[in-house]
A and B are shown apart, each in its own frame.
Chain A
Amino acid sequence: MRTRVADRDGALAWIFLMPSVVYILALVGVPFVLAVGLAFSDVTSGDPSFDFVGVDNFRSIFDDPVFWQSLGNTFLFTAISMLLIVVLGKIVANILVADFRGKWVVRFLVLLPWTTPATLGAVAWLWLLDSIYSPIDWVLRQLGFLAEAGNGSNMYWLGEPALAMASVIAVHVWRLTPLAAVIMMAGLVAIPKDMDEAARMDGAGYWRRMFEVTIPMTMPVIAVSALFGAIFTFTDMAVVDVLTNGGPNNATQVLTSWAFFRGIDGGDVGQGAAIALFLFPLLLAAAIAILRAVRRLEVR
């Protein structure tokens, strides 16, 4: 009897995979290869003709103190964001799997920041953190934490380097926590109920069950959400672009935003590409390490 395509697992798998493969090749693979080429070229925004310049672009960016400042900011931004995203994601996931009335409404509200386009959310935060009209400042003023008028009546969230970085991190965490929560929620609901019940029968309290049953069982998904969080944070510039433009004094400048300012606004596409690609080897190594760790945890 002739088998139809629908009956051939191998063919069917490729058919289903093909849209993703084409998408990734066209929108990630090709631009990536292009970016690698650009990083070793003298291409500018006005002259796309390719001339090989070796590592000149990398040499130039290494001589630029703003590049090193951006690199430091990127690590700080990513490390703190990732930590907060994982911790808050776990807490939110625990809340979301609990049984209570209105659970679906809470789930919907929690997911909203993730489903809202990044820039729309950032624009809303831009107003919340505004130097004149900030509602956050208004609340602080009403509570007596800020002066009624004059000096000390505003926080200037985006005007102080430390507060600006904290604001950028906070908005990023606000955006990505729902994603981490959903990933972890999937891990939590997959834990066999009898394990938890057995631990209860053995007299384990909430915290003991949390640290000795739940977290170890969900460690692979926690690692995956950390990986997502790290990559999304490393490669994001929308929040910085909308909130601070990298300021004040480049205090929130990250590699992606600096690549954009140098490469597109400044016209030096080669240097922009070199800046954008600088962390690629590191990110690749981190991603491989995390995925291997996840695999080991799953095998165990």
Chain B
Amino acid sequence: MLHGVGALGLGAALAACASEEDPGPGGPTGSVGAPAETFAEPTRKISGELKILLWSHFVPSHDTWFDKFCADWGGKTGVKVTVDHIDQAQITTRLAAEISAGQGHDLVQFIACLSSFEEGVLDLKDVTDEAVKRHGPQLELCRKSSLNPKTGKFYAYSPGWVPDPGNYRKTLWSGVGLPNGPSTWDELLTGGTEIMKSKNIQMGLGMSQEIDSNMVLRALMWSFGSSIQDASEKVVINSDQTVAAVEYMAKLFKQTMTNEVFSWNAASNNQGLVAGKLSYAVNSISAYRTAQGTAPEVADDIHFVSALRGTQGALAAQHVMYNWVVPKHAKNADAAKEFLLHYTTNYAAATYASKLYDFCAWDKLTPNLNAWLASDPFGSKPSDKLKLLADGTKWSTNIGHPGPASPAEGEVFSTFIIPNMFAKAARGELTAKQAVTEAEGLITPIFAKWRARGLVGG
């Protein structure tokens, strides 16, 4: 069906190698050290083999830690654990192939919602309930990214996520009277315009067919009171608020950006930021960690702000949402579930090993997180520049907000309808109203299709 599948696989691998930058070297520099790991006997008898498939983390030190963590757990429980890391861009293709073949890994992790796989995976309500029993309420955005309220099924288990703050160049924004960076979309427009005029350095918000554009443009919509669906999963994108958000972006583009933002891939804003070519971008801390290793002077100048305030609030999308699924074909589901509970209990070690990239769905499981963020053990200058991430849960939400993540939201995401809606208006190909109407025309059948399958409410 698709010619050159092998070549495509390699392509995906290579493209995804470039999808984010590897954070540079640099071990802990003090502060509160790596947390000790704990082990509790599994609640059920487990044995045999457990095959885990997960992404190659953007922070390589995480994978080193994770592999040893699995081996240690396997040694203590008598389960033979096999861990396969592959590029994140290949995970959904691989999972689809394994579900279709009815064989493969027992446990699969991805960095976004796997809602479209609901019918092919086990309900992980028992794992989620047990984790809640042990650790208290789960973070709402993780819950909404793993539970389908229509079917009541936990198609995934979500123990962690990654925030998506604004990254800004302090020297540039100090020059326009905003040394602490923009805090509203209006300030972003006025400050960004001035920087573009005086320094010829552009804004870094993509309107391209890639993941970061999808994220930041949803954040803009939410902050303007707009969304694709409402809480009950009805399509509500065609609203005055969406039109206002699209008009704002068109203005921001004209005053602060170049056509470059239509050509971006997932690595582009990272590269632009590290190269010192962008005044502001929305991304996880991975670009900053890269700069720490490759361009320390740029890294020192990169600071962070929380979600920008719009007319109706201040929200950002999560940058990464960890979804663990147990396919129906899994031969050792019990071991998979026990492993997930053990992994969750030790999430502080995962956060540390990822250089504060991964955040836990249970605050109490990372008791030192605020101390680490207030005094970065990985060499930030000043050491407290990540401090604002401590309240990241207050300004972060799930894809699908104010409703849940769903297969329909996933397909809208994968077919880049939102970035194209903004881009068409920004390029002047359509008016804001026409672009929104066109997007609605593309989104409605997608929701109808998944609703007909019983996977989407509304």
Using a CB–CB distance below 8 Å, which chain A residues touch chain B? 31-32, 34-35, 42, 44-48, 60, 63-66, 117-120, 122-123, 126, 131-133, 149-151, 154, 156-160, 164, 232, 235-238, 241-242, 244-250, 256, 259-262, 264-269, 273, 276-277
Contact = CB atoms under 8 A, between A and B. Distances in A.
Contacts of A264: 92-93, 96
Interface string B1-19: 1111001101110110010
Contacts of B100: 48
Interface stretch (B172-180, B258-266, B311-319, B357-365): B258-266
B416 interface: yes
B2 A260 contact: yes
Given A149-B200, A264-B92, A238 B263 contact: no
Q: Lowest 10 CB-CB distances: which A-B pairs, in order?
A: A267-B116, A119-B11, A159-B263, A235-B3, A158-B263, A47-B119, A247-B209, A46-B117, A265-B414, A248-B262
B413 to A, nearest CB: 9
Give the interface centre of B102, B200, B415, B420 by most chain A CB atoms within 10 Å: B415
Interface in B32-81: none
B450 to A, nearest CB: 9
A38 to B, nearest CB: 8
Contacts of B427: 249
Given A47-B120, A237-B4, A250-B209, 8 more contacts: A48-B120, A119-B10, A123-B14, A131-B268, A158-B263, A256-B2, A266-B414, A267-B116
Nearest to B6: A117
Contacts of A273: 1
Nearest to A232: B3
Contacts of A42: 453
A237 B2 contact: yes
A271 B445 CA distance: 13
B165 to A, nearest CB: 23
Interface of B: 1-4, 7-8, 10-12, 14-15, 18, 92-93, 95-96, 99-100, 102, 116-121, 200, 208-210, 258-265, 268, 271-272, 275, 277, 407, 410-411, 414-416, 419-420, 423-424, 427, 429, 438, 441-442, 445, 449, 453
A248 to B, nearest CB: 4
Contact of A131 (B18, B118, B264, B429): B264
Contacts of A241: 8, 11-12, 15
Identify whether the interface residues of B are mostly helix, strand, loop, or mixed. Answer: helix
Contacts of A164: 263
Contacts of A261: 414-416
Contacts of A66: 415, 442
A249 B121 contact: no
Contact of B209 (A31, A245, A277): A245
B119 A46 contact: yes
A253 to B, nearest CB: 8
A244 B264 CA distance: 8
B261 A45 contact: no
A225 B415 CA distance: 34
Contacts of A126: 18, 265
B118 A46 contact: yes
Give the interface centre of B11, B210, B429 by most chain A CB atoms within 10 Å: B11
Give the interface centre of B2, B415, B416 by most chain A CB atoms within 10 Å: B2
A92 to B, nearest CB: 23
B417 to A, nearest CB: 9
Contacts of A151: 258
Contacts of A133: 275
A266 B411 contact: yes
A119 B7 contact: yes
B200 A267 contact: no
18 contacts: A47-B120, A119-B7, A123-B14, A131-B263, A133-B275, A158-B263, A159-B264, A164-B263, A235-B4, A236-B3, A237-B4, A238-B11, A241-B8, A256-B3, A260-B8, A262-B415, A267-B411, A268-B449
A132 B15 contact: no
Contacts of A247: 208-210, 262-263, 416, 419-420
Contacts of B208: 159, 245, 247-248
